[in-house]
Structure 1
Amino acid sequence: MGRRILRSRRFQILSGSVLLAGVDLIVKAVAWAALADGRGIPLGVIELWRTTNPGVAFSLGEALPSWVITAGSGVVLAALASAALVRAPRLTPVVTWAGALVLGGALGNFIDRLDGNGVVDYLHSDWFATFNLADVFITAGVVVFCLSVLLKRPQHSNATESPARM
């Protein structure tokens, strides 16, 4: 029974997403503390910055009250989690972990919003928006999911039709 639970797709999605959200929140706390003096740390094409995003992706909705963004994010997170958990037994291992990546990132950003200050972002480039590890998880999960759908081999039936019936 114990092994069956550990192999359960639902357990993999839930435990994976909680683990990834925890890693994200720890990295955000470390970045926030390390960048407390307000200076950026150049790392080549990426620079570490200390900033928050009160909106959603690309700061959309930043003028809305924080509770609206938090509530909306919570609804989206609950819908994603419900859909993933309902479909979990039929998912492939790759799609299961893609779901864990998306849910883990969404959960990390949702928890970060609960204080009303927005999401901590710390990865900055001159060519893209400032983002965080949770955003990387979400993007990677969506890319893996899309690739798994696009690269899925068609299922062929073992039974072949005779030419006389065609």
Structure 2
Amino acid sequence: MSTDKVTPNGKSPYRTRRAVFAMTALISAFVALAIEPVARKHLSGSNEIDLGVVRLRLAYNSGVAFSLGDRLPSAIIIALTALVTVGIAVYAWRSIPQSRWVAVIGFALIVAGAASNVVDRALDERVTDYFHTGWWPTFNLADTYLTCGFILVVVSLLFESTRGSEPEIQRPQFE
């Protein structure tokens, strides 16, 4: 006797959520990491591309968010951000079976953004940034993933709190 719900195709929705989480995180991280060398190549020197609301301008961040900790040894920053990234990934992996789809995508984007920045920093001890607004510090696609992912998780939590906190009761199925 099993209490797991099963979709019409015979798969557990929990596995589906985890698969979507993993694929979204992997594809998003791959895209962010693939853009980094392109940005370095085309925006090096004083090259800048004006896209209206945002300009593409090359910058490097040896610290974490808003260049905080930029004087710390890069090995410390890499180790700490990697540790935080792994912690978030483990928490997400364990919580997504019971999470709303919005949170699943949000967690995937957070993990992709954090992992992309860790890998980028590990390659040359700094993160490559290229989106510049003029009113906000320069950032990259991975930072956008982090922000959007955080917003999606918060929205999911807000919907959860308005729905009520009663857990869903799963009754055993007798065959």
TM-score by length of 2: 0.82
Q: Which residue of 2 aligns with 1:63?
A: 71
Return the offset for 1:78: 0.7
Gaps (5+ residues) in structure 1?
158-166
Q: State the shift of 1:155 in Å.
A: 3.6
1:93 Cα deviation from its structure 2 partner? 1.2
Query: Partners in 2 of 1:82 and 1:2 — Cα distance?
Result: 26
1:120 aligns to 2:120 (yes or no): no
Q: Which runs of 5+ in 2 are unaligned?
A: 1-8, 167-175
Moved more, 84-93 or 126-135: 84-93
- Corresponding residue for 1:163? none
User: Which moves more between the two structures, 141-150 or 9-18?
Assistant: 9-18
Distance 1:12 1:156, change over 3 A: closer
CA distance in 2, matches of 1:107, 1:61: 18
Q: Which residue of 1 aligns with 2:163?
A: 154
> Corresponding residue for 1:98?
106
Give the stretch that moved more between structures: 72-81 or 140-149: 140-149
- The answer to whether residue 92 in structure 2 is matched with residue 81 in structure 1 is no
Identity %: 35
TM-score (structure 1 length as normaliser): 0.86
* Mapped contact 1:17–1:107 kept (Cα < 8 A): no
Identify if the C-alpha distance between structure 1 residues 8 and 56 changes in structure 2 by more than 3 Å, giving closer, same or farther.
same
The secondary structure found in structure 1 opposite 2:63 is coil
Alpha-carbon distance between aligned partners in 2 of 1:117 and 1:38, rounded to the nearest angstrom: 22
Counterparts of 1:114 and 1:148, CA distance in 2 = 32
For residues 127-146 of structure 1, the aligned pairs below 5 Å read 127-146=135-154
CA drift at 1:3? 5.3
The total of aligned residue pairs comes to 157
Distance 2:34 2:52 in 1: 23
* Residue 40 to residue 2, structure 1, CA distance change in 2 (3 Å): farther
Give the secondary-structure state (helix, strand or coil) at the position aligned to 2:44: coil
* Aligned equivalent of 1:22: 30
